[in-house]
């Protein structure tokens, strides 16, 4: 009966909470992929310190994106407008996580070429 009246018994998660979930999962993937790639390349201490800096940068950017979504939800955008922005942001989050982790491959090759 509640769904017939438009009131769902289980309210949907807000876009800000959903984007936070994607950010957390993408951060875990980003960390594990970086560690795995650097470990396979025989990474040195310098490369591992670079991983720590990259993860810190990702966390700062993720917090900024979470704040943006909290402000967007308080704004006057329609549900359709929020859904479109949400899909774009989710795609960008995962693309940045995958590409960012894969960037360690050329960094490791150059590092190995320069420093043996």
10-57 pLDDT, tens digit each: 455 688 899 999 999 999 999 999 888 888 887 778 888 888 999 999
Percent with pLDDT over 90 in the chain: 42
Residue spans per domain, the chain: 15-115
Burial (Cβ within 10 Å: 0-12, 13-18, ≥19) of residue 65:
middle
Q: What is the pLDDT of residue 98?
A: 94
Distance of alpha carbon 29 from alpha carbon 37, whole angstroms: 12
Per-residue pLDDT tens over the stretch 45-102: 888 888 899 999 999 999 999 999 999 888 888 889 899 999 999 999 999 999 998 9
């Amino acid at each position: 009966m509640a769904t017939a009246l438009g009131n769902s018994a289980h309210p949907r998660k807000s876009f800000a909470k959903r984007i936070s979930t994607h950010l957390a999962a993408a951060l875990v993937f980003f960390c594990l992929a970086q560690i795995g790639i650097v470990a396979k390349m025989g990474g040195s201490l310098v490369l591992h310190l670079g991983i720590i800096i990259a993860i810190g940068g990702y966390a700062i950017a993720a917090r900024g994106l979470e704040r943006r979504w909290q402000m967007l939800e308080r704004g006057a955008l329609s549900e359709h407008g929020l859904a479109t922005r949400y899909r774009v942001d989710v795609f960008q989050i995962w693309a940045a996580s995958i590409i960012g982790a894969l960037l360690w491959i050329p960094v490791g090759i150059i590092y190995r070429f320069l420093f043996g």
